[in-house]
Amino acid sequence: LRIHITPLKGANGRKMGVVCLMRDVTEQKRLEQIRTEFVANVSHELRTPLTSINGFLETLLDGAIDNPKVARNFLEIMNGESKRLSRLIDDLLKLSSLEDKKSSLNKQPVNLKELICETVKMLSARAQEKGIALTMAIPDDLPEVPGERGFLEQVLINLLDNAVKYTLSGGIIEIGALVNGKEIKVYVADTGIGIPEESLPRVFERFYRVDKARSRDMGGTGLGLAISKHIVEAHGGKIEVESDQEGSTFSFILPR
Ligand code: ADP
C-alpha cells in the first residue's frame, strides 16, 4: 500500500486537517517483478549458448584445432548452439510483436484442415527419422475459422514440434480437429514422455521447462508454449494440456 499525506490549510493558514491518499500497488509491484524476472531470464538464456560457444572457441584456439576429429566435434556443438541462439532471438521478437499486436490481428477466414496438412508435411520427415508415426483425424467439412494464418501455423508447428521432440522412437502422434457447437478444437496427442502433474500449470510460462537439460539438448528455447498461448488467446481462444505417463495432449479451442 502506498500512502500520501497532505496537510490541509484554511485561508488563514491554520491547519484544518489532512488528505490521506492510499493506493494499492500490489498489481503494479507484481507486474514489475514479472518484468524484472523476464529480463533476468532473457539475459541468462542468451548468455548460456554464448558462454558455450566462447568456451569451445577458446579451446580450439588453444590447440584443439590441430586435432581434426576433436575440432569437428567442437564445431558441430558451436553450430548447434549458435542456431539455438538465433531461434531464441526469433522467439523473443515473436513474443514482443505479439504483445504489440494483441488488439489488431489481421483476421481472415483460415482453412484449418489445409493448414494442419501443411504443418504435418513440414514435420513428417523428422517424425519418420525418429521412428514416430504421425496420423491425422480431421473431418472433411471442418469449417474455416477467423484468424491470422501465419500465427495459427506457428501454434500448430510449436505443438507438433514438441510432440516430436518429447516422444521416443516407436511412439505415435495424432493431430485432430473437431467441431463443438460454436467452437473448433484442435488437439495434438502424443505417446511421449509425459509431463509431471506439478509442472502442468507452469508449462505455458516463458522459459519454464520440465527438464532444462533435455530441452536444451533438443534445441528448445522454452518459449514455444508461451508464444502459442499468446496467439490462441489473441484469437479469443483457449489452450490446455493433459498429460500422464502414457503421453500428453495439447489442445486449443478457437471460436468459429
Ligand atoms: P521448449 O523449447 O523447451 O520445448 P516449450 O515452451 O515449447 O519449450 O515447452 C515447455 C516445456 O514443456 C518443455 O521444455 C517440456 O518440458 C514440456 N513439454 C512441452 N510439450 C511437451 C510434450 N508434448 N511432451 C512432454 N513435455 C512437453
Q: How many CB atoms lie within 10 A of CB 8?
A: 9
Residue 1 reports pLDDT greater than 90: no
Please count the CA atoms within 13 angstroms of the CA of 49 that sit on its side-chain side: 21
Residue 16 reports pLDDT greater than 90: no
Q: Stretch 84-95: mean pLDDT, rounded?
A: 90
Q: Ligand 1 pocket, 224 CB below 6 A?
A: yes
Which residues lie closer than 8 Å to 171 by C-beta, 6 or more apart?
Answer: 131, 132, 133, 190, 191, 192, 247
Are the CB atoms for 56 and 77 separated by under 8 Å? yes
Rounded to the nearest angstrom, the distance between the alpha carbon of 248 and the centre of ligand 1 is 10
Report percent pLDDT > 90 for the chain. 70
Q: Ligand 1 pocket, 228 CB below 6 A?
A: no
Are the CB atoms for 53 and 76 separated by under 8 Å? no
d(CA 19, CA 37): 36
Q: Ligand 1 pocket, 210 CB below 6 A?
A: yes
Q: Stretch 74-94: mean pLDDT, rounded?
A: 92
Residue 41 reports pLDDT greater than 90: no
Given ligand 1 and candidates 90, 91, 162, 199, which is best to mutate, with the most ligand atoms within 8 Å of its CB?
162
DSSP 144: P
Q: Stretch 109-120: mean pLDDT, rounded?
A: 96
Amino acid type, 176: G
Q: Where is pLDDT greater, at 169 or 212?
A: 169
pLDDT of the residue at 131: 97
Amino acid type, 149: R
d(CA 55, CA 43): 18
Rounded to the nearest angstrom, the distance between the alpha carbon of 1 and the centre of ligand 1 is 38
- What is the average pLDDT value for the chain, to the nearest integer? 92
d(CA 196, CA 200): 7
φ/ψ of residue 23, rounded to 5? -130, 130
What does pTM read for this prediction?
0.83
Are the CB atoms for 225 and 151 separated by under 8 Å? no
Which is nearest to 20 in space by CA: 2, 45, 33, 3?
3
Are the CB atoms for 124 and 118 separated by under 8 Å? no
